[in-house]
Amino acid sequence: MQVQALRNTATAEDVMEVLQQDGCAIVRNLVADSLLDAVYAELKPFIEATKVGGDDFAGYRTQRTGSLVARSQSFHQLALHPLVLDTAAKVLGPYCQKFQLHLTQAIRINPGEPGQALHRDQLVYSPFRFPRGMECELHTMWALTDFTEENGATRVIPGSHKWEDDRTPSPEETVPAAMPKGSVMVFTGSVCHGGGANNSQEPRIGVQVGYNLGWLRQEENQYLAVPPAVARHLPEKLQKLIGYSLGGYALGYFGDVQHPKEALKA
Ligand SMILES: O=C(O)CCC(=O)C(=O)O
Ligand SMILES: [Fe+2]
């Protein structure tokens, strides 16, 4: 068993087909190294200033750096990648009027970090259990370095998005999402996975970008991460994606039933 890998000419239909089967798919070499080098250069000072995690799940040798929309202009191209947005529209579209940006996080797993506990990302909404087949989140993990089994490539259980919630995943059932820098793994909130152990001498760096149903709370508070004074300068598409838009009739208004885009006026 492997995570199925598609070429970078894949369409959203192709990605969707693999997601329906497996809950995860790799698209190899989707963006140029130069874009990821620019993202990394812009994020490097923030990553270096980020403390490692304070519990087993976050990882005592793992740095998680957020607010990527505000901190890296080049990152916008990842968040708005057309193949990802088209795939998110297919996965999340049936359950909401609009999907939105859920979280942005650079994850640097440093040497010596053990494997993360296996989990489904949609557990953030615990104790609520989403019905099997209904996806509430779609995630991407962009490889800023090569992802290898040795350096801590995300470990996934293809097909586990169909499992009942009470089935416990075990490490033996996982496969590493090995992929070259510039590739992306797309995975649903329902698929079991976890960060891999880094047994190499170099950090493994990925950027996770999640999208979720427009009527759910976002995991990363986008209005604090990207307040109006910052959001005002973003492309309109990104303003809407992070939440300066209505998720449905009157869903997300402020003040006297004003549209959130009014908050972006100088
Ligand atoms: O870093 C990774 O490969 C995965 C991390 C992860 O799954 C998480 O923190 O939820
Ligand atoms: Fe996760």
Q: Is the alpha carbon torsion for 248, 250, 254, 258 positive or negative?
A: positive
Whether ligand 1 lies within 6 angstroms of the CB of 195 is answered as yes
Q: Is the pTM of this model over 0.85?
A: yes
Omega of the bond prior to 127 within 30 degrees of 0, cis? yes
Domain count, the chain: 1
Give 233's contacts (C-beta < 8 A, 6+ positions apart): none
CATH of the domain at 149: 2.60.120.620
Angle between helices 12-22 and 82-92 (to 10 degrees): 50
pLDDT of residue 118: 98
Residues of the chain where predicted confidence (pLDDT) is lower than 70: none
What residue owns the CA closest to ligand 1's atom 5?
195
pLDDT of residue 263: 95
pLDDT of residue 205: 98
pLDDT of residue 1: 86
Whether ligand 1 lies within 6 angstroms of the CB of 189 is answered as no
CA–CA gap between residue 44 and residue 106 (Å, rounded): 10
pLDDT of residue 266: 76
Token pair for 6:
């598609």
Which tens digit of pLDDT belongs to each residue from 104-139? 999 999 999 999 999 999 999 999 999 999 999 999
Domain span including residue 18: 5-264
Which tens digit of pLDDT belongs to each residue from 192-232? 999 999 999 999 999 999 999 999 999 999 999 999 999 99
Q: What are phi and psi of 106, to 5 degrees?
A: -80, 130
Token pair for 29:
């070499």
Give, as residue ranges, everything with CB less than 5 Å from ion ligand 2. Answer: 121
Ligand 2 centroid distance, CA of 154 (Å): 9
Beta bridge partners of 52: 63
